[in-house]
Amino acid sequence: MRYLGWIVSLAIAIVFLIAYKTQYVPLSEDVKKLESEISMWETVLKDEKGWTGERNRFSVERFFDGDRLSPYAEVEMLRRLTPDYKGVELYISAPDAMTRAHDVIRFLAEQRIGYRTIYCTIDTDSLERFEYKFVK
């Protein structure tokens, strides 16, 4: 009875270790493989089409204030806006992603910089995420 607490603690630690090794580690390795494959395909496409650009990821809380772009977001995007870019790629995922996408496109239109292409991928069923990339 005296060692029951230690035995229970050890059993819980073993269960957590097994769950970590069988659940988290394989998922983490899959995510790393997918990220490397995505970056490889982005590199291939950049080389084929002569595109250059840098993908920027931001936390949704910092980039949006409700459904509107935050002042931080506007300043961050204005720092990168230039007529040298040929296009913009947007990725927005959130429950209200359509409204946020409209606000981002409205902001880009207000800056009066004409892009040949604007790709906007909107995913309404996943975790909140926002990325954009200006394409040269």
Residues 12, 17: Cα–Cα separation, whole Å: 9
Angstrom distance (rounded) from CA 86 to CA 32: 30
| pLDDT score of 110 | 83
Q: Tell the residue number behind the tokens 């270790």, with chain if given.
A: 17
Per-residue pLDDT of the chain (136 residues; tens, 9 = 90+): 788 889 999 999 999 999 999 988 888 888 888 888 877 877 776 666 555 556 666 666 777 777 788 888 788 777 777 666 666 777 777 767 778 778 888 887 887 766 666 666 666 656 666 666 666 6
Residue 74 has a pLDDT of 83
Which pLDDT value is given to residue 68? 81
